[in-house]
């Protein structure tokens, strides 16, 4: 029992010591300063979206507000957090190309990676060659006999009869 009390006391002490470090990390984080209109929109978001937004670095928060309404809808409804971060890290030209690609994919107008022609005709050919083997007895007779003890060609196996 004494060990449990000692362990519980030590755990509480560690937890209390960790609180200032967590508070310091949160106060060091930079947050994008929203306009009144942006803050109003932010307050209308579901709690999950607000929490996700607050977890982003400042450049991601700032980039979000540069998106048009259609892009914002796609941002929340279609993209996952990893995809969002990748877009934020791109150069502006890459971001534009990525959004164009996203629009094409969502509209079903994206060009496939590999194209095939509907008029393509596949031609199969065979160049089978029969080669004679040494000691071959030639083609089999019309009616095959039962194999003799050392015979292997042009006969029916004794077990098959």
**pLDDT for 6-55, tens place per residue?**
444 444 444 444 334 333 334 345 678 888 888 898 899 899 989 988 88
- State the Cα–Cα distance between residues 144 and 152, nearest whole angstrom: 12
Choosing from 62, 89, 107, the residue where a domain stops is 107
Q: Which range has the worst mean pLDDT, 84-93, 96-105, 148-157?
A: 148-157
- Give whichever of 26-30, 74-78, 126-130, 145-149 has the largest mean pLDDT: 74-78
> pTM for this structure?
0.49
In a domain, 119, yes or no: no
Residues 9 and 75 in one domain: no
CA angle centred on 24, ends 23 and 29, rounded to 5°: 100
Top pLDDT among 131 and 148 is at 148
Can you tell me whether residue 35 is helix, strand or coil? coil
Q: Which two tokens stand for residue 82?
A: 């990893």
57-83 per-position pLDDT tens digit: 888 888 989 999 899 899 988 898 889
Strand pairing partners for 156? Answer: 146
Number of domains in the chain: 2
């Amino acid at each position: 029992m004494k060990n449990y009390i000692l362990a519980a006391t030590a755990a509480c002490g560690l937890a209390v010591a960790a609180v200032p470090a967590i508070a310091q990390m949160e106060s060091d984080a930079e947050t994008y300063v929203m306009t009144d209109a942006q803050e109003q929109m932010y307050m209308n978001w579901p709690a999950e979206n607000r929490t996700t937004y607050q977890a982003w670095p400042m450049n991601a928060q700032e980039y979000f507000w540069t998106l048009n309404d259609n892009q914002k809808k796609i941002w929340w409804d279609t993209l996952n957090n990893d995809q969002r971060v990748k877009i934020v890290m791109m150069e502006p030209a890459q971001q534009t190309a990525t959004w164009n690609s996203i629009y094409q994919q969502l509209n079903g107008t994206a060009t496939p990676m590999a194209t095939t022609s509907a008029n393509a005709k596949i031609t199969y050919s065979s160049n089978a060659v029969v080669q004679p083997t040494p000691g071959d007895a030639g083609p089999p007779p019309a009616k095959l006999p039962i194999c003799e003890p050392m015979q292997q060609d042009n006969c029916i196996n004794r077990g098959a009869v």
